[in-house]
């Protein structure tokens, strides 16, 4: 494993022309957690899966929170900046194009922060049960970046208004957002998998690989 800022797993592509996936786990996951999901969503794509740097009661996360749904926004900014630097270093180390993020819950929230703070780092994103990560994210611009936001109609953690506000924030920054509200709670289900797979099949074709 290459020594980069985040503990991670990397699985090289087995099919040319697929955009790499940046897999971002939820609270309590780790760098192995979403590898099977990544292989299912985009067969043959390279998979880059970092572990969150923060521990909450022994469970890895990508940033600190003050309570459920209340984020330490200074830490969100710090961790998003560090994750952006990790992605840049990993692209150089492994010869990757800009990745598409696939994030669940806490991982989806840090992916949203990455989109808003670092335009161009991601080629797009699948955000599963994401919330607004920053009250004032700044004036990012990433015209046309494809984003699929999958919310649960009965999600006890993410209010419907919050997911709608995240959609508006991303659209205002220029993203091409598809927001689907599913008959689901906070957990990942088969509808999420089917929609994400279709989205990545449509949007996840790679340009030329990055050069050193």
Asked whether residue 12 is domain-assigned, the answer is yes
What was the pLDDT predicted at 140?
A: 65
Asked whether residue 210 is domain-assigned, the answer is no
| 155 part of the active site | yes
When pLDDT is averaged across residues 8-12 and rounded to a whole number, the result is: 96
pLDDT for residue 78 is more than 50: yes
Asked whether residue 169 is domain-assigned, the answer is yes
For the stretch 61-65, contacts whose Cβ atoms lie closer than 8 Å and that sit 24 or more positions apart, written own/partner, are 61/27, 61/106, 62/24, 62/106, 62/107, 62/109, 62/110, 63/106, 63/109, 63/110, 63/113
pLDDT for residue 96 is more than 90: yes
Asked whether residue 212 is domain-assigned, the answer is no
pLDDT for residue 110 is more than 70: yes
**Total domains in the fold of the chain:** 1
Range of the domain at 198: 8-202
Q: Choosing from 6, 25, 105, 192, which is the catalytic residue?
A: 105
Asked whether residue 174 is domain-assigned, the answer is yes
pLDDT for residue 17 is more than 50: yes
pLDDT for residue 137 is more than 60: yes
| 6 part of the active site | no
Asked whether residue 160 is domain-assigned, the answer is yes
pLDDT for residue 3 is more than 80: no
Which CATH number do you get for residue 162? 3.40.50.1820
| Residue 123 · residue 98 · CB < 8 Å | yes
Q: In this prediction, what percent of the chain has a pLDDT beyond 90?
A: 82
Asked whether residue 207 is domain-assigned, the answer is no
Q: Choosing from 8, 33, 49, 155, which is the catalytic residue?
A: 155
Rg, C-alpha atoms of the chain? 15
| 186 part of the active site | yes
User: What is the full DSSP assignment across 54-83?
Assistant: EEETTEEESS-EEETTEE-HHHHHHHHHHH
């Amino acid at each position: 494993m290459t020594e980069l800022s985040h503990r991670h797993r990397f699985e090289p592509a087995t099919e040319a022309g697929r955009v790499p996936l940046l897999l971002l786990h939820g609270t309590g996951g780790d760098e192995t957690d979403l590898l099977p999901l990544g292989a299912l969503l985009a067969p043959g794509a390279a998979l880059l899966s970092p572990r969150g740097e923060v521990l909450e009661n022994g469970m890895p996360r990508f940033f600190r929170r003050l309570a459920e749904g209340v984020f330490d926004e200074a830490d969100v900014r710090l961790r998003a900046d560090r994750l952006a630097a990790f992605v840049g270093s990993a692209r150089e180390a492994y010869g990757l194009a800009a990745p598409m993020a696939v994030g669940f819950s806490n991982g989806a929230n840090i992916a949203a922060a990455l989109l808003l703070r670092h335009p161009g780092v991601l080629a797009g994103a699948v955000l599963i049960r994401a919330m607004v990560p920053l009250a004032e994210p700044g004036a990012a611009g990433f015209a046309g970046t494809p984003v699929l936001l999958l919310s649960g109609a009965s999600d006890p953690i993410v209010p419907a208004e919050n997911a709608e506000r995240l959609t508006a924030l991303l659209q205002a920054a220029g993203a091409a957002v598809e927001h689907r509200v599913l008959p689901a709670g906070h957990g990942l289900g088969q509808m999420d998998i089917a929609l994400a797979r279709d989205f990545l099949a449509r949007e996840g074709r790679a340009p030329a690989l990055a050069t050193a």
